[in-house]
Amino acid sequence: MKKKLLLTFTAFAALFAIIFSSCASKPTEPKPDQKEIETPQTEDELSDEDIIVITDDDDGSDDEYLRSIANLDGAEAVSKKEFTDDKNEILEIISELALVMETQDTLTWLKYIDDESKEYYKNPVNLRKAQQRLRDKRIELKTIEDYFKYVFIPARRNSHIDEIRYVSKNHVKAVQIREDAPDAIYYEFKKKSGKWLIYIPPVS
């Protein structure tokens, strides 16, 4: 009887050892709520390698740039950056002038005019030349203020500037493009000491 009990105990011990060994060698899997969850990166966490920058080089500005510098020779090259800076500055001046013309503020207007033009249109002889070209013969131009009110403003009313054209590196025309007709020139600018000022051509 003792021998039978010993054999039974030994059998149970061996079976227990096998089961324990099997459990110990099996890898444990994380519980579902313990699995690592992948979260999308925020903008701050993105590295330079993760960011893709899409650029559009074909914006049509090359054609405008080439039209603008078409009359320049090689000695007066204007870079595309210079062209962009010049155009932006000139358009800003024209925008400011729109308000000046609306209020007919002659003193402020004169600050935008180059010295050569101011001297020319202060001369009574030249004012009479300009007066002779007016359709309304009742208008008299006695001062540069008269020229501003009766010639400069009406000639630019309802104008729209599309592009600029270089006459030289320091002389630019601001034009409105017209279909089936030459460009309409509404302003001319000359650069003096790094600043664009309005140039008014003499009466031809």
pLDDT greater than 70 at residue 9: no
d(CA 100, CA 108): 7
Q: Is residue 15 part of a domain?
A: no
pLDDT, tens only, 21-30: 554 444 555 5
User: CA 88 to CA 195: how far, in whole Å?
Assistant: 13
Residue 10 resides in a domain: no
Reduced to 3 states (helix: H, G, I; strand: E, B; else coil), residue 105 is coil
Give the whole-number percent of the chain exceeding pLDDT 90.
64
Residue 93's pLDDT is: 98
Say what the pLDDT of residue 99 is: 96
pLDDT digits (tens, 9 = 90+) for 30-48: 554 444 434 444 444 434 4
Question: pLDDT-based confidence at 59, cuts 50/70/90?
Answer: low
The pLDDT of residue 3 is 45
Domain presence at residue 100: yes
- Provide the domain limits for residue 172: 62-198
Residue 154 has pLDDT above 90, yes or no: yes
Any domain includes 29: no
Hunting for tokens 């960011």 — which residue is that? 51
For residue 198 the two structure tokens come to 């309005």
Q: How many domains does the chain have?
A: 1
CB neighbour class for 168 (10 Å; exposed up to 12, middle 13-18, buried from 19)? middle
Q: What is the pTM of this model?
A: 0.69
Query: Among residues 146, 113, 112, which one has the least CA distance to residue 127?
Result: 146
> Is 6 inside any structural domain?
no
- Tell me which residue of 116, 91, 203, 196 sits closest to 152, measured CA to CA: 203
Sign of CA dihedral 130, 134, 136, 137: positive
- Is residue 93 in a domain? yes
Bridge partners, residue 172, by sequence:
166, 189
In a domain, 48, yes or no: no
C-alpha 105/C-alpha 148 separation (Å) is 9
Residue-level pLDDT at 48: 43
Burial class (CB in 10 A: 0-12, 13-18, 19+), 174: buried
Is residue 88 domain-resident?
yes
